């Protein structure tokens, strides 16, 4: 089954709008379209055309309710996010900066992030995420929110979201439980977030699916390029400690056609090459999966803490920035999926 949630631009082909981005690939095949919506995203609500959708977040976010296709036994449910830059009269993207894009589901238990990605400098992209473990929280109908934070006060981006099922791919997994923990747009150093989760009987392999990315603010790039220590606790006991980091930006130059040169003394260095706190321009944010056998049946409190920021890199540069956080607890049925196989 294919469910298609579309925020598009009339009269322009996708191949044209995906300027400088990934080679175009169609999503996995499926039955006909079951849902469609069109519009654009701008900085201010008054600049965002309104047809059959609702605008939120200063024009950065649109949402609608749609049917959720069930993942077949042993199969997968994928979310496909297309971020498509709108072109100006010069044929180039109106907004050529790298921007965070995400799809969030509003579930009875709270907001659940399905995918997060960063657009390239001067390019959109297609980003695909397996969301099979999250299916138990989505139900048969769910309100989805698609958002991309840009700042030019004109329509700048088109977002297309598709939910696609595949007959194979999940192997033995049989998702049974999913509860969102938190979705924090702005989290600062020396802060923490906690949530209570009750693990039901009859599940196995409890784990957290977590995303954390550091970003700059008010002209300071500190948290974008200097990671912070993250500590995960279950019922007060530390179970994991890590620092989000990506250092493969140099492989993504073709996804960043407008990347500038941040250091005049290093002419071969592009902005997209730089190591960053958990993300790379032009790619999706890879979720971190933490197995948590400590989550036995019953209630538990899960906490994420960001430790104090390390010393400043530059005394003339203020430590300003923020971290985007999301997490959910998932678990599988003790009964294995009746899969025909994945190979």
Q: What is the pLDDT of residues 118-130, one digit of tens each?
A: 999 999 999 999 9
The residue count for the chain: 343
Residue 339: inside a domain: no
Residue 340: inside a domain: no
- Whether the per-residue pLDDT at 242 is higher than 50: the answer is yes
- Whether the per-residue pLDDT at 139 is higher than 80: the answer is yes
- Whether the per-residue pLDDT at 74 is higher than 60: the answer is yes
pLDDT at 318 (0 to 100): 54
pLDDT at 112 (0 to 100): 98
Residue 203: inside a domain: yes
Question: In the chain, what percentage of residues exceed pLDDT 70?
Answer: 76
Extract the runs of DSSP E, i.e. beta strands, from 93-222: 100-107, 110-118, 125-130, 141-148, 157-166, 175-187, 191-199, 203-216
Q: 126-146 burial by CB neighbour count: b if 16+ within 10 A, else e? A: bbbbbbbbbbbbbeeebebbb
How does the average pLDDT of the chain come out, rounded? 80
Counted domains in the chain:
1
Residue 226 pLDDT grade (very low, low, confident, very high; cuts 50, 70, 90): confident
Structure tokens at 138: 């989505």
- Whether the per-residue pLDDT at 243 is higher than 50: the answer is yes
pLDDT at 36 (0 to 100): 38
Structure tokens at 312: 């400043």
Residue 343: inside a domain: no
Closest CA to 163 of 136, 182, 144, 183: 144
Q: Which of the given ranges, 19-23, 177-181, 257-261, has the highest pLDDT on average?
A: 177-181
Q: Are 81 and 73 in contact (CB under 8 A)?
A: no
Q: What is the largest CA-CA distance in the chain?
A: 61
Domain housing 300: 2-333
pLDDT at 157 (0 to 100): 84
pLDDT at 33 (0 to 100): 30
Q: Are 35 and 3 in contact (CB under 8 A)?
A: yes
Structure tokens at 169: 């791919």
For the CA atoms of the chain, what is the radius of gyration? 20
Output the domain CATH number for residue 107. Answer: 2.60.120.230
pLDDT at 188 (0 to 100): 83
Other Cβ atoms closer than 10 A to 36:
14
Condensed to tens digits (0 to 9), the pLDDT of residues 260-304 reads 998 889 999 999 999 999 999 999 999 999 999 999 999 999 999
- Whether the per-residue pLDDT at 23 is higher than 70: the answer is no
Phi, psi angles (nearest 5°) of residue 23: -55, 135
How far apart, in whole angstroms, are the C-alpha atoms of residue 266 and residue 338? 56
Residue 270: inside a domain: yes
Residue 26: inside a domain: yes
């Amino acid at each position: 089954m294919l469910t298609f949630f579309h925020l598009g631009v009339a009269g322009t082909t996708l191949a044209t709008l995906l300027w400088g981005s990934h080679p175009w690939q169609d999503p996995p095949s499926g039955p006909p379209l079951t849902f469609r919506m069109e519009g654009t995203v701008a900085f201010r609500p008054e600049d965002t055309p309104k047809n059959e959708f609702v605008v939120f977040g200063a024009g950065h976010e649109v949402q609608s309710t749609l049917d959720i296709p069930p993942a077949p036994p042993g199969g997968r449910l994928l979310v496909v996010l297309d971020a498509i830059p709108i072109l100006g009269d010069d044929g180039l993207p109106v907004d050529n900066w790298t921007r965070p894009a995400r799809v969030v589901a509003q579930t009875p238990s709270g907001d659940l992030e399905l995918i997060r990605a960063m657009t390239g400098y001067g390019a959109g992209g297609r980003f695909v995420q397996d969301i099979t473990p999250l299916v138990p929280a989505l139900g048969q109908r769910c309100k989805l929110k698609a958002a991309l934070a840009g700042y030019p006060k004109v329509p700048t981006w088109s977002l297309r979201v598709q939910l696609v099922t595949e007959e194979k791919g999940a192997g033995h997994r049989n998702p049974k439980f999913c509860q969102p923990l938190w979705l924090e747009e702005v989290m600062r150093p020396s802060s923490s977030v906690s949530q209570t989760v009750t693990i039901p009987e009859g599940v196995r392999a409890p784990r957290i699916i977590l995303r954390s990315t550091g970003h700059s603010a008010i002209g300071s790039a500190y948290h974008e390029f200097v990671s912070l220590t993250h500590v995960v606790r279950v019922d007060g006991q530390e179970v994991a400690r890590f620092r989000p980091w990506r250092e493969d930006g140099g492989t993504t130059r073709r996804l960043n056609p407008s990347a500038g040169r941040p250091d005049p003394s290093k002419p071969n260095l592009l902005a997209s090459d730089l190591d960053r706190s958990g993300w790379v321009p032009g790619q999706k944010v890879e979720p971190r999966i933490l197995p948590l056998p400590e989550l036995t049946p019953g209630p538990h409190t899960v906490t994420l803490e960001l430790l104090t920021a390390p010393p400043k890199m530059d005394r003339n540069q203020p430590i300003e920035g923020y971290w985007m956080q999301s997490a959910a607890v998932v678990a599988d049925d003790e009964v294995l999926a009746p899969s025909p196989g994945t190979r």
